[in-house]
Structure 1
């Protein structure tokens, strides 16, 4: 009997292989790999978390040289739900991504901005904090909406995301003027001290720090340019990602994320 069906079957297999090579998401869905990261975490009873302790209030070293901060507490609150301990591994920010990919750590919890270009190499959680650009005004300002900025002067950090947002707003409001400063902190000081400046475009970290320190300003409207912080996990960490999402949602519902913000931004000088 002639095996005439072999060429056709081989062609089908080649097409499937090519599809799976191109579409890794489909490959993982059809042939889910074992999540060795989650399995190792369960065996150890320890979640190895990488962070760069140089970005307060999210992560910093205390007087004893131990990492503390929003992200450290967040990691512990997540691991508690899995009955696991947390091992903090201090790593320079530029090396965090590779540390996850090579298995040096199980995850990164380090004010890490979401980057869609990296989703083929790692997994990201949903955001737990948005550090994006907000519009800040003095506490007694009558401004309530971005549309009211026509004819006003707005402070921005030169060359930053806030500058980009300001230029975008100028296209919508041609009479809006930008006053450029070297740092977000200088933009905030200009808003508070220069009557000619009506508002400032600053990142949400700077704004939360200013609010926590008692400066007389407030945010107006929603985030104008999002910059979400996420947890980074290995590309094969399918179960880990599911557990992280479940635990994060629990923390949101309990108000724990809001409480961590209040606690750690209040510690800023």
Structure 2
């Protein structure tokens, strides 16, 4: 039995796990349609289903943990969770604290405004009030052009505030914005600011688990499972580069 920073950690077949026989993964539950919180407190969504099928491939029982997005990476690093399956974009800063799997989906940040806004591009956000989610990569993009960055606990609540007349714009994942528009929010998408790779985060000292997750993801891509889950939530396959 090994002792982690926050929990006892069991080694199984070389994997370090929070709990024997279980795959404990974290998500925010505040990032529809990737993870949302159900009335009974459980989470559902694209990320959650990916976590469940990865656990099955690992031969482990899936255990979902809801946690604030801005603190999830630290939770993985400290051993509170086995992994984060929470739409984390692979960045150099995050790679200093955790290791990442191969990407399980591809996306990209986009500017969203109200329909009457004249904002079209990142340069148009100079000096404007821009809302983003705490702990996301979007804050740094906004900070390139404005000092007036408002932080929310989730992208969805930021978009809801924008739709209600608050702030000048929101920067978030284009899929999240697309889903919000489909649910009736009065917002429109403007410039897409690049492409991002989202992956599963694992503690740096948990290399065997990372290897097994990568093998699981490879199989789930090849047998069409990831594509099927993606099409269920988005109507298209966002799990391969060909969808870009």
Q: TM-score, normalised to structure 2's length?
A: 0.60
Aligned Cα root-mean-square deviation (Å): 4.2
- Which 5+ residue runs of structure 2 have no aligned equivalent? 1-9, 112-118, 132-137, 145-157, 164-170, 236-244
SS at match of 1:86: strand
Shift of 1:255: 2.3
Divergent runs of 4+, >3 A: 35-43, 153-161, 183-188, 210-214
Summarize deviations over 1:169-195 as a string: whole Å, max 9, x none: xxxxxxxxxxxxxx879999xxxxxxx
Whether 1:44 and 2:13 are equivalent positions in the alignment is no
Give the length in aligned residue pairs: 191
Aligned to 2:200: 231
Aligned to 2:226: 257
**Structure 1 residues 129 and 208 mapped into 2: Cα distance closer, same or farther (>3 Å)?**
farther
Residue from 51, 75, 79 that aligns with 1:103: 79
SS at match of 1:123: strand
Instruction: Tell me which moved more, 35-44 or 74-83.
Output: 35-44
Bigger proportion of residues as helix:
1
Residue from 90, 101, 109 that aligns with 1:125: 101
**Structure 1 residues 211 and 130 mapped into 2: Cα distance closer, same or farther (>3 Å)?**
farther
**Structure 1 residues 226 and 187 mapped into 2: Cα distance closer, same or farther (>3 Å)?**
farther
Contact 1:75 1:86 in 2 (8 A): yes
Shift of 1:43: 7.4
Shift of 1:211: 8.8
Shift of 1:108: 0.6
Summarize deviations over 1:82-140 as a string: whole Å, max 9, x none: 211011111111221121111111111111121212323211112112231479xxxxx
Instruction: Tell me which moved more, 119-128 or 64-73.
Output: 119-128
SS at match of 2:215: helix
Bigger proportion of residues as strand:
2
**Structure 1 residues 121 and 186 mapped into 2: Cα distance closer, same or farther (>3 Å)?**
closer
> Matches of 2:180 and 2:28 in 1, distance apart?
23
Q: TM-score, normalised to structure 1's length?
A: 0.55
Summarize deviations over 1:41-96 as a string: whole Å, max 9, x none: 49711011111111111111112221111111001111111211011111111221
Aligned to 1:60: 36
Contact 2:31 2:176 in 1 (8 A): no
> Matches of 1:230 and 1:74 in 2, distance apart?
11
> Matches of 1:42 and 1:96 in 2, distance apart?
15
Summarize deviations over 1:211-252 as a string: whole Å, max 9, x none: 9779xxxx9xxx761222211101011111111111111111
- Which 5+ residue runs of structure 1 have no aligned equivalent? 1-34, 136-152, 168-182, 189-200
Alignment of 1:119-268 (within 5 A): 119-133=95-109, 154=120, 203-206=173-176, 208-209=178-179, 225-265=194-234
Structure (1 or 2) with the larger CA radius of gyration: 1
